Amino acid sequence: VLTLDFKFTEVKGQPPCLSSVPFHTGRCGYKMAIKAYLNGDGEGRGTHLSLYVVLMPGDFDPLLPWPFKQTVSLSVLDQSGAGNHRSLSFKPDPTSKSFQQPSTESVSNIAVGFSCFLPLNKLETPHNAVYVRDDTLFVKAKVDTAGLDQL
């Protein structure tokens, strides 16, 4: 299982979508990034934090099985030390274009995830947790690599 933590810092004047640095699911794995809409996207606009992952063209794509079928979990980490992290997972739909091999001409596939990940009121004033401290939010991506050959 691959687990990565990302720090998202809201900067005034930034676009409403923040993207993580690209990461790989292993040494020669799928290339991905996380997208966070701090004021929501789509159905969650103005009411929720929205979190998504995107597959990106990577150097190892010809060696990897397609479509992408690995379970992905996204978490917002509790910075209070109490461990009250909030997580949601999804298993990819192998028929969706979002999980097909990305075209080398594109920046990324269409993002997939949760438009209503966490209500903003729970993000800003949660009970028994601190998700935003010093204008910083930590997001964790966990990709189940079971069944993948290690290259």
Q: Residue 151 domain-assigned?
A: no
Residue 92 has which token pair?
A: 């990819």
Q: Residue 149 domain-assigned?
A: no
pLDDT given at position 78: 92
Rg from Cα positions in the chain: 16
pLDDT given at position 10: 53
Question: Which three-class secondary structure state does DSSP give residue 124?
Answer: helix
Domain boundaries, position 133: 2-143
CB 22 within 8 A of CB 127: no
Render each residue's pLDDT in the chain as its tens digit; 151 residues. Answer: 444 455 555 545 555 788 888 999 988 999 999 999 988 899 999 899 999 999 999 999 999 999 999 999 999 999 999 999 999 999 999 999 999 999 989 999 999 999 999 999 888 777 788 888 887 888 999 999 988 877 6
Instruction: Point out which residues pair with 82 in neighbouring strands.
Output: none
Q: What is the CATH number of the domain that holds 22?
A: 2.60.210.10
Spatial separation of the C-alpha atoms in residues 99 and 87, rounded to whole Å: 21
Is the pTM for the entire model greater than 0.75? yes
| Distance separating the N- and C-terminal Cα atoms of the chain | 15
Residue 16 has which token pair?
A: 């409403």
Q: Residue 10 domain-assigned?
A: yes
75-85: pLDDT as tens digits: 999 999 999 99
Q: Residue 7 domain-assigned?
A: yes
Within 10 angstroms of residue 35's Cβ, the number of other Cβ atoms is 19
Residue 23 has which token pair?
A: 């990461």
